[in-house]
Homo-oligomer: A and B are copies of this chain.
């Protein structure tokens, strides 16, 4: 069975690790393989090195190397190199890069510099984390560089800053006028991305940010059409519970689109291809009825690895229960 998921960083990674944990206990699904299409819109070149935060968070989480307390970065990491960069006057320091983590970026930058595609780099990095042994194929949404910028108004007037500066440095505290994903309109889906959607038995949307994570992946030309046209049921998990994001700043992102922070507003962003939508207990009542969309209430909070596996299992069961769209 082929499961395909679109994902951003921390929330998506925890959900998908939960899915892998769940699948290990499902003897009826021992042939299941998971392909993850990861957002690359928040990639950034930092200190001359190419950093792919969402792909790395997915890789480290699935490979048991993640710093659980942060949700990103490597467990047990140190900040020797970045501290020394500061001594040289090299900015910024607001984007924390540990020494172990930096090895990923050095390796990636070297390989990219040698002409490898990002897909090839992700595969080489993923080998060290045993993704293949887990039955997981991690794909970047595109091998073409895409960078999400945030248009803000501040004392310097209206200007665009990199998504990471807005998200990490300013903690999304400056109102976003809009998001622009530089390069997205001409980005080609990475090899295997459209095939993974078209050939899927199940498509899952983890509770990732609907605007700057899933929304960016959906903006890669061809991806949205593939989701509309695929035979697999598409099941999503709301990243909003009771009017607030479970984690991160999805509220600030939805506000930039003029949308309220509700499971209904997020479902509206996916309504042209979404079949089933998992919301938290009590949240179904706030959903508008949409033709072809089933809303299911399930416990959505991933408090630990066990509850994440239960949520992923519930999403998978919802998809298997829905069955293929046609045929």
Contacts and interface: CB of A to CB of B under 8 A. Distances in A.
A107 B128 contact: no
A85 B87 CA distance: 24
Contact of A78 (B80, B110, B114): B80
Which of A48, A89, A110, A128 has the most CB atoms of chain B within a 10 A radius of its CB?
A: A48
Contact of A107 (B47, B100, B110, B113): B47
A84 interface: yes
A104 interface: yes
Interface string A100-121: 1011101101100110000000
B99 A81 contact: yes
Which of A85, A99, A127 has the most CB atoms of chain B within a 10 A radius of its CB?
A: A99
A88 interface: yes
A114 B87 CA distance: 19
Interface in A4-59: 47-49
A199 to B, nearest CB: 30
A90 interface: yes
A124 interface: yes
A65 B104 CA distance: 27
B88 A104 contact: yes
Contacts of A102: 81, 102
Contacts of A113: 48
Contacts of A90: 106-107, 110
A127 to B, nearest CB: 8
A85 B99 contact: no
A246 interface: no
A65 to B, nearest CB: 10
A81 B100 CA distance: 5
A106 B47 CA distance: 7
Contact of A48 (B84, B89, B110): B110
A104 B88 CA distance: 8
A48 B109 contact: yes
A41 B113 CA distance: 23
Given A48-B113, A99-B99, A113-B48, A106 B80 contact: no
Contacts of A85: 103, 106-107
A103 B80 CA distance: 9
Nearest to A90: B107
A125 interface: yes
Contacts of A99: 78, 80-81, 84, 99
Contacts of A103: 80-85, 87-88
Contacts of A81: 81, 99-100, 102-103, 106
Contacts of A78: 78, 80, 99
A128 B48 contact: no
A82 B87 CA distance: 21
A99 to B, nearest CB: 4
Interface in A125-157: 125, 127-128
10 contacts: A48-B110, A48-B113, A78-B78, A78-B99, A81-B81, A81-B100, A85-B103, A87-B128, A90-B107, A90-B110
